[in-house]
Amino acid sequence: CDLVSGLKLISVERAFAEKHYADLSAKPFFSGLVDYIISGPVVAMIWEGKNVVVTGRKIIGATNPAQSEPGTIRGDYAIDIGKLFLCRNVIHGSDSVESARKEIALWFPDGSVNWQSSQHSWIYE
């Protein structure tokens, strides 16, 4: 039972985008990646739940949209990774729990909303 515990619509500033993608700063597509994420508003989310990173990556689809299954976000909505690689990839998802912790701290410095679904006790033992 995954749940959203953080959600906001924001306009991303260049310095923030560069910090978010700092691990990719040496890549040739870094500048285009930053330009793309600052080109319009971004919906940032925190999802919580058992195996949520693995489940989230399945919902998102493969990094290359051409290799993403139909029914995934990238498979249905991403068109091309293009010359700049990730620049038109429509969605980002943490690739590990460690990355998620770092990204949540950056995007949600005040933390997440702490609540539990009424279904929790029916789903988890």
Is the per-residue pLDDT at 1 higher than 60?
Answer: no
Compute the distance between CA of residue 49 and CA of residue 21 in angstroms, rounded to an integer.
Answer: 25
Tell me the domains of the chain and their CATH numbers: 3-110 (3.30.70.141)
Active-site option among 92, 103, 107, 112: 92
pLDDT class for 6, splitting at 50, 70, 90? very high
| pLDDT for the residue 66 | 82
CA-angle at 83, arms to 78 and 96, nearest 5°: 55
Tokens of 86: 């990730």
Question: Residues for the chain: how many in total?
Answer: 125
Which of 14, 8, 16, 50 lies closest to 35 in space, CA to CA? 14
Query: DSSP letters along 86-119, please?
Result: GGG------SSHHHHHHHHHHH-TT-------TT
Percent of the chain whose predicted confidence (pLDDT) is above 70: 90
| pLDDT for the residue 78 | 80
Is the per-residue pLDDT at 62 higher than 80?
Answer: yes
Task: Tell me, yes or no, if 120 is annotated catalytic.
Answer: no
Is the per-residue pLDDT at 84 higher than 60?
Answer: no
